[in-house]
Amino acid sequence: MANAVNPTKANLMAAKKSLALAQNGYELLDRKRNILVRETMAFIDRANTIQEEIDRVFHEAYEALRLANVTLGVCDDLAQAVPVETGLSISARSVMGVEIPMVSLTETPTENHYGYYFSNSYLDDAYLKFERVKRLTAELAQIENSVYRLAAAISKTQKRANALKNIVIPRFTAQITRISETLEEKDLEEHSRLKLIKAQKEK
């Protein structure tokens, strides 16, 4: 495709301009990729921390629920008194053009929904622990979704950067070299021709 371009000074200037734009585009894409990778690594570190905390709190919650079941009998009826969560909301923020979800749960007072007469501290402890797990799970879902979107954006950015680096930039570089060499040859030929004309006139 580069060979189809006529070796003129106008085309040489256009090719140099296109090369500069391609190089600038590559630098911007590379910078974007680095920022996205940094964001992703931060999310992954946070996800690992949350996952460990969820595992720990889940274990504690189930242990508290086991003790509540042992001391109170099966707590299904008491559990029915706890209202269904309706305070989940999702918004978004942009990181280098990538929409990152923001999951939030409205703060609700941790009140006793099932009464004190038929419950005990084990059930209260289980309720509070599962409430904590719920909030951690919402945060983990936000982070995992963010990592998925960032990974897709990194892959897309990497492909574009590679296309510029390995295809577009070398093509314009070769085009500039070819046109420059052709123009230099023409200048040499023109210079030699003028020299010859001058020599013939001097005879």
93-108 average pLDDT score: 85
Report the Cα–Cα distance between both ends of the chain, in Å, rounded: 47
Strand partners, 102: 91
Q: How far is CA 120 from CA 61, 67, 82, 113, 130, in A?
A: 14, 10, 15, 13, 16
What confidence category does residue 2 fall into, taking pLDDT thresholds of 50, 70 and 90? very low
Q: Which two tokens stand for residue 1?
A: 């495709």
Highest mean pLDDT among 23-27, 78-82, 115-119: 23-27
Contacts of 89 (CB under 8 A, 6+ apart): 103, 104, 105, 106
d(CA 125, CA 59): 12
* Alpha-helix residue ranges (DSSP H) falling in 73-119: 76-79
What does the pLDDT look like over 142-192, one tens digit per residue? 999 999 999 999 999 999 999 999 999 999 999 999 999 898 888 787 777
7 φ, ψ (degrees, to nearest 5): -80, 75
Hey, what domains does the chain have and what are their CATH numbers? 11-176 (1.10.287.3240)
114 φ, ψ (degrees, to nearest 5): -110, 5
Contacts of 47 (CB under 8 A, 6+ apart): 140, 143, 144, 147
Are 46 and 143 in contact by the 8 Å Cβ rule? The answer is: yes
d(CA 17, CA 100): 35
* Chain mean pLDDT for the chain: 86
Contacts of 71 (CB under 8 A, 6+ apart): 120, 122
Q: How far is CA 154 from CA 30, 35, 39, 149, 160, in A?
A: 10, 9, 11, 9, 10
What does the pLDDT look like over 5-50, one tens digit per residue? 788 889 999 999 999 999 999 999 999 999 999 999 999 999 999 9
Phi-psi region of 107 (alpha: psi -120 to 50; beta: other; left: phi over 0): beta
Residue 3 has pLDDT above 60, yes or no: no
d(CA 144, CA 47): 7
